[in-house]
Structure 1
Amino acid sequence: MKQIGLLVMLLVFTPRCYGQAWEQLAVAVAEKLIDLWQLGEFQLLGHKCNYSVTPKIRRLELYFQGSMWCPGWTLIRGEALTRSRSGVIGDTTQDFVRKAFIAGLITEQEAQAWLTT
């Protein structure tokens, strides 16, 4: 997070006369920011599911909001908010599985396979 803040400060306070260097820095920052968003799909218990990850700033700290859903199977939506970009999809999937189990869509055995990994 500190690196992003430093890069933003450089973009704001760097004189425009540096032209090409400034443009390269702006492109590098934009690419890093774009990489924070993520969309994808995977199979969950034989159903095609989608997920999204969105960065959020809370109290000047970077968090990741995850969401997953399985169109054509259920309206249940798994959600999670965490500081871990690599862990947000797992947390989101576990939330979805807990909700699907409570709704009676999956068995306890199927839920445990996803909740213990």
Structure 2
Amino acid sequence: MRVSVLTSVALAVTLVALQTPQCQAQGWEAVAAALVSKIVGFWRDEKTELLGHECNFTVKPYIKKFQLYYKGRMWCPGWTPIRGEASTRSQSGVAGKTARDFVEKAFKKGLISEQEAQQWLDSKA
């Protein structure tokens, strides 16, 4: 789902909450806050460490055939141009698949040994 769509929905809910009479405003404000918090939670932007190298990891939601999917990306600037990528329906599952894709590509390029790759993957399981 695009950020602009989610922002528009959050803005609309907030405007409705602000226009609600004072006696009901607390209920709408709580709903709006919970909705915005849930929507923002779909995105992740984190840092992780791989064999002494700082790496970035992001997850972004998108809609495909009216279903919510997550796209993960992992890259390590300053070390290698390799990018790990994966898409799944599971927000937690995309992290593991993205890391696995990155480590497999790094192994194939000879940046890490099979033992290092396996140890890192086992530590993230």
Measured against aligned partners, the alpha-carbon deviations of 1:70-92 in whole angstroms (never above 9, x if no partner) come to: 11100100001011111211110
Aligned partners of 1:56, 1:74: CA distance in 2, in Å? 27
Q: Give the unaligned 5+ runs of structure 2.
A: 1-8
Which residue of structure 1 lines up, in the alignment, with residue 84 of structure 2? 78
Which residue of structure 2 lines up, in the alignment, with residue 34 of structure 1? 40
Question: What is the one-letter code of the residue matched to 2:70?
Answer: F
1:24 has 2:27 as partner: no
Aligned partners of 2:20, 2:49: CA distance in 1, in Å? 51
Indicate the larger mover: 36-45 or 106-115: 106-115
Q: What aligned pairs does 1:51-70 form with structure 2 within 5 A after superposition?
A: 51-70=57-76
Q: Decide whether the 8 Å contact of 2:50 with 2:120 is kept in 1.
A: no
CA 1:39 to 1:31, structure 2 compared with 1: closer, same or farther past 3 Å?
A: same
Larger helix fraction of residues = 2
Backbone CA RMSD of aligned residues = 2.3
Q: Percent identity?
A: 52
SS at match of 2:54: strand
| Normalised TM-score (structure 1) | 0.78
Which residue of structure 2 lines up, in the alignment, with residue 5 of structure 1? none
Q: Decide whether the 8 Å contact of 1:94 with 1:114 is kept in 2.
A: no
Q: Give the unaligned 5+ runs of structure 1.
A: 1-7
Measured against aligned partners, the alpha-carbon deviations of 1:48-94 in whole angstroms (never above 9, x if no partner) come to: 11100101111111111100111110010000101111121111010
SS at match of 1:75: strand
Which residue of structure 1 lines up, in the alignment, with residue 95 of structure 2? 89
| Normalised TM-score (structure 2) | 0.73
Aligned partners of 2:71, 2:54: CA distance in 1, in Å? 21
